Amino acid sequence: MPASTMRTVNLVVALALSVSGAGVLAGCGTEKATGNDGEVHRTGSLPAHVADRALRVADAWDDSEAAAMWRKGYYPMGEVIQPPQDLHHDDMHAYETGNFDLAGDLPPAPPKVGRATWESGGSLTLPLVDPQKAYQATDRASSPGPRLVVTGAKLGAMTVATSRGPATVPAWLFTLQGYATPLRRAAVNPSKLPHPPIEPARGVPTDVLAPLGGLSKVAADGRSVTVVATHGSCDNGPAVEALEAGDSVVLSASVVGSKDGICTSEMLGRKVTIHLKRPVGERMLLDASTGRPVPYTEWPRTSPSWS
């Protein structure tokens, strides 16, 4: 860290206990180290080299050009597609699997740009997504079972949770057969990610440091975050640790333990909830393994919304 920087860092360890995403706080004492760069308070039992990696990621982003670009962009941290709240059971299954049929005409090409406007102030002009492309991104499966029928669409708006707080963005409102309220899908794509100011960690075993699968939820009060952590079929599941800094929260994922028996090669995902010392606010959520912001994901239905 630069000599001029003084930072208090809280490290919280959350172990995944179930696929539903329950997590517990764990800690094994407090270690205090003092150096030329000030004091670092470390809570938990994180290996020193992993803690050092997390600190280097936080420092690389601190006051960087990439961080400045991030704070000016549009990066969803919540769902960019919102179905009617009264979806029936079978129709909810169709929505989650992406089973749709188009039984009407979609609007012609829209205006070229739209505007995202933040509740906290500020706005950003973004290219509008063609309604046909927005529909195709929603209708992503042709599996047997119930299907939702889209009969038309019009341009409207929706509120999306973003890295800069709630924003109102243009949205395609798709009319669904049998429903009075539409399915909303954001009509703008996320901003291009800035080039990260630090390279990914290389040559590190996943039981020490692994990439995260994505961000699933930020609590309404900002005091906890739920992420998807990946693991294999012959281990005891993932663990995620959070290193809290002034401008960022760096998440370090790893795989715990091992099991005997036949192991398949599939990659599994488990939701892990990490409780923080103070609300996330506008701090960046960073992945210690990749050195990049953690993308929002609707796992297991879709891949991360941006990467």
* DSSP labels, 2-24: -TT-----EEEEEEE-STT--EE
Q: Is residue 257 part of a domain?
A: yes
Task: Give the count of domains, the chain.
Answer: 2
Q: What is the pLDDT of residue 266?
A: 66
For 229-261, give one letter per residue: b (16+ CB within 10 A) or e: bbbbeebebbbbbbbbbebbbbbbbbbeeeeee
Q: What is the pLDDT of residue 259?
A: 62
Q: Of 186, 204, 232, which residue constitutes the final position of a domain?
A: 186
Residues 181 and 198 in one domain: no
Per-residue pLDDT at 257 exceeds 80: no
Q: Is residue 293 part of a domain?
A: no
Residues 32 and 88 in one domain: no
Determine the Cα–Cα distance for residues 143 and 306; give it in Å rounded to an integer. 25
Residues 227 and 132 in one domain: no
- Residues 269-283 have pLDDT tens digits of 789 999 999 999 889
Between 123 and 37, residue with greater pLDDT? 123
Question: Are 11 and 243 contacting, i.e. CB atoms less than 8 angstroms apart?
Answer: yes
Q: What is the pLDDT of residue 251?
A: 95
Confidence band, pLDDT 50/70/90 cuts, at residue 168 = very high
Average pLDDT on 6-16 reads 40
Q: Is 58 helix (H, G, I), strand (E, B) or coil?
A: helix
Determine the Cα–Cα distance for residues 208 and 250; give it in Å rounded to an integer. 15
Q: Of 167, 186, 205, which residue constitutes the final position of a domain?
A: 186
Residues 94 and 181 in one domain: yes
Per-residue pLDDT at 181 exceeds 60: yes
Residues 96 and 135 in one domain: yes
Residues 165 and 200 in one domain: no
Residues 179 and 199 in one domain: no
Residues 199 and 53 in one domain: yes
- Specify the pTM: 0.79
- Residues 83-115 have pLDDT tens digits of 999 999 999 999 988 999 999 999 988 889 999
The backbone torsions φ and ψ at residue 49, rounded to the nearest 5 degrees and listed phi first, read: -70, -30
Count the Cβ atoms, other than its own, within 10 Å of residue 305.
21
Residues 139 and 276 in one domain: no
Residues 203 and 281 in one domain: yes
Q: What token pair was written down for 102?
A: 């188009």
- Residues 110-148 have pLDDT tens digits of 889 999 999 999 999 999 999 999 999 899 887 888 999
Q: Of 141, 156, 186, which residue constitutes the final position of a domain?
A: 186
Residues 52 and 120 in one domain: no
Q: Is 93 helix (H, G, I), strand (E, B) or coil?
A: helix
Residues 241 and 111 in one domain: no
Range of the domain at 254: 10-73+194-287
